[in-house]
Amino acid sequence: MLVAAIDIAGLAVAFPVGVGLALVLGVITTYLATHQGNVHMLALGVAAIVIAIILDGLAYRRLAAGGQKTPAKGIVISVAAGLLMGWFYSFVAQAMGTIDPDTRALTPGRLSPYTAIVLFSAGLLLSNFIWNSIMMVKPFSGPPVAFADYFTKGNIRLHLIGILGGMIWNLGMAFSIIASTKAGAALAYGLGQGATMIGAFWGVFIWKEFKDAPPGTNKFLAAMFAFYLLGLAILVASKL
């Protein structure tokens, strides 16, 4: 869904809204599931990121008002994607155990971080055949596509780029899960979603999605970056 939202609304809009919302919801649900971390600092960090999401939405409104079309459907899909993504990490965190510092034994009946990432990856692979098939038949934009298009309309270069992207994402997920054993699951997830800043940076500065926006829009974008970075900094400080 997030990929579809990016295709419709652009990287600089869909990523901060979708992943930002997932960050907020994920930190809250993961903290409630594990009760790890400084709740007051986590709340402040989340609040700053909520402000960043609102500012990004205001920048989008100015973009639309300036005559450049960014369908509202893209925002709706971004929000839906964020709501769904915000729940998964708490389940992963609950499935993992802790290692006793004296005996080095893992909590009985729980997963190690490495086992968790393997099972999580397997779940991604298997569920993809279900959800991706549905999206192919009922796409959010464009005509339906057939499985044969993967071979007839794609090429090795495009497929390798997609595989590389998946490998990079899953490596980051593995680092996040491993870090959660020391930093706490809520903090590890929140910092992992700092990838939003990278996505927004690409959308604003590389793809120049706001180049035709009305004067003054850059102030909203600058404030969005500032509040997002502030939120991430507060999340880091919550562990100090």
96 pLDDT band, cuts 50/70/90, is very high
Radius of gyration over every alpha carbon of the chain, rounded to an integer in angstroms: 19
pLDDT of residue 116: 95
pLDDT of residue 66: 66
92 pLDDT band, cuts 50/70/90, is very high
The pair of structure tokens assigned to 7 is 């295709």
pLDDT of residue 68: 60
pLDDT of residue 67: 60
DSSP string covering 47-99: HHHHHHHHHHHHHHHHHHHTT----HHHHHHHHHHHHHHHHHHHHHHHHB--B
In 3D, which of 182, 152, 211, 186 has the Cα closest to residue 38? 186
**Could you state, in order of their start, the residue ranges of all structural domains in the chain?**
2-237
- Of 67 and 215, more confident: 215
pTM for the full model? 0.84
Q: Does residue 126 have a pLDDT over 80?
A: yes
Tokens 């899909």: give the residue. 77
Average of per-residue pLDDT across 174-195: 89
DSSP string covering 196-235: HHHHHHIIIIIS-TTTTSPTTHHHHHHHHHHHHHHHHHHH
Average of per-residue pLDDT across 21-29: 93
Q: Does residue 71 have a pLDDT over 70?
A: no
